[in-house]
Structure 1
Amino acid sequence: MQELKLELKDTQWTKTNIDHDRQVVRAIVVDEQQNYYFVKVHRDDIFGTGTFIETSGGGVEPGEDLITALKRELKEELGANVNILCKIGTVSDYYNLIHRHNINNYFLCKIDSFGEKHLTQAEIDDFHLSTLKLTYEEAVAAYEKQTDTKLGQLIANRELPVLRYAKELISNSI
């Protein structure tokens, strides 16, 4: 299968200007039993208040390649050591409220082991990050449930197509 490529617009907030691009790595993380691992985020910020499901990942730091950044983010947020199976694809999306364009690089990863998480203070205090272990069906339902908020809709628009594509990859190869 070829890599997924999506270009998404921010349908929730009016576009004024986009003043920066952000390289992001994200992962669909599965285990031997085909459980999927996500982060649960509770926010109360410029985007509003809400609790959301998201794939684990984050920004690529200066000097990092995508693989190094991905392994760092998964270790920090999930405490996971993973085997990277393949790149799923790229989702380009916009957050007009903060004038940002994200280039999300998605990978399919299989859990090797879990260890200690290394959350940042902001992830603990501002986002109350925790790990969710869900079946594929539970994950789809969680994404669909959060579409009643502006930010939840943007996250679901970005992540549901990737999750569905990853499920196809898993069904065809793992």
Structure 2
Amino acid sequence: MQELKLELTDHVWPLTYIDHDRKIVRAIVFDKEKNFYFVTSQRDDEFGKVTLIEISGGGVEAGEDLESALKRELKDELGAQVKIITKIGVVSDYYNVIHRHNLNNYYLVQALSFGEKHLTKDEQEKFHLSTVKLSYQEAEKAYERATQDKLGKLITARELPILRRAKELLDSNHA
């Protein structure tokens, strides 16, 4: 199956300028029973006050390759040791409110085990990150509900196509 490539714009907040790019890795994490693992975030910042789910992941550090960054981020945020199945695709999107362009590299990974998380101070105190296990249907509904919030609209536009592609891959036994 061909990698998904999406170019999205931010129609929620006005564009004034973009002053930085962020290379990001994210993964649809599933277990043997085909449950999916996400992070929930409770925010009250420049994006507004919102609680929503996101596909786990984060920034790629200087000199780090994508797969190493992905494994590090999933260990930190979910406490997960994973097996990378395949790259799903790349989503280019923007957060106009913080003047940022995101280059999101998405993977499909299988959780092998869960252990201790290593959340940053901001992830704990500013975003209140926690792990949530959902069925595909529950995740799809959570994304659809998120479109009621400004940030949720941007995240859903980016992540719902990725979740749907992951389900196609799992259903076609590519995982």
TM bin, normalised by shorter chain, reads: over 0.9
Say yes or no: does 1:119 pair with 2:85.
no
Q: Alpha-carbon deviation of 1:63? A: 1.2
> Secondary structure of 2:87's match?
strand
Task: Measure, in 2, the Cα distance between the counterparts of 1:164 and 1:47.
Answer: 26
Matched, 1:135 2:135: yes
The superposition leaves residues 45-94 of structure 1 with CA deviations (integer Å, 9 ceiling, x where unpaired) of 01100101000000001111101100000000000000000000000000
After the TM superposition, which residues 29-48 of structure 1 pair with which residues of structure 2 at under 5 Å, given as runs?
Answer: 29-48=29-48
Identity of aligned residues (%): 65
Once the two structures are TM-superposed, the CA of residue 97 in structure 1 deviates from its matched residue by 0.6
Match of 2:95 in 1: 95
Gaps of 5+ in 1: none
1:152 equivalent in structure 2 = 152
**d(CA) in 2 for partners of 1:13, 1:125:** 25
- For residues 97-139 of structure 1, what are the alpha-carbon distances to aligned partners after superposition, in whole Å with 9 as ceiling and x for unaligned? 1110000000000011111000001100000000000000000
Q: TM-score, normalised by structure 1?
A: 0.99
Distance 2:72 2:124 in 1: 17
Q: Could you tell me the TM-score, scaled by structure 2's length?
A: 0.98
Q: How many residues align?
A: 174
What secondary structure, in the 3-state scheme, does the structure 1 residue paired with 2:17 have? Answer: coil
Equivalent residue for 1:4?
Answer: 4
- Aligned mates of 2:106, 2:96 — CA distance in 1: 22
Distance 2:117 2:12 in 1: 33
Matching residue of 2:24: 24
Matched to 1:19, the amino acid is D
Q: 1:107 and 1:94 mapped to 2: Cα distance? A: 20
Structure 2 unmatched ranges of 5 or more: none
Amino acid of the structure 2 residue aligned with 1:144 = E
Residue equivalent to 1:62: 62
CA distance in 2, matches of 1:39, 1:169: 22
How far the C-alpha of 1:149 sits from its partner, in A, is 0.8
Q: Residue 148 of structure 1 aligns to a residue in which SS?
A: coil
| Secondary structure class of the residue paired with 2:147 | helix
Segments of 4+ moved more than 4 angstroms: none
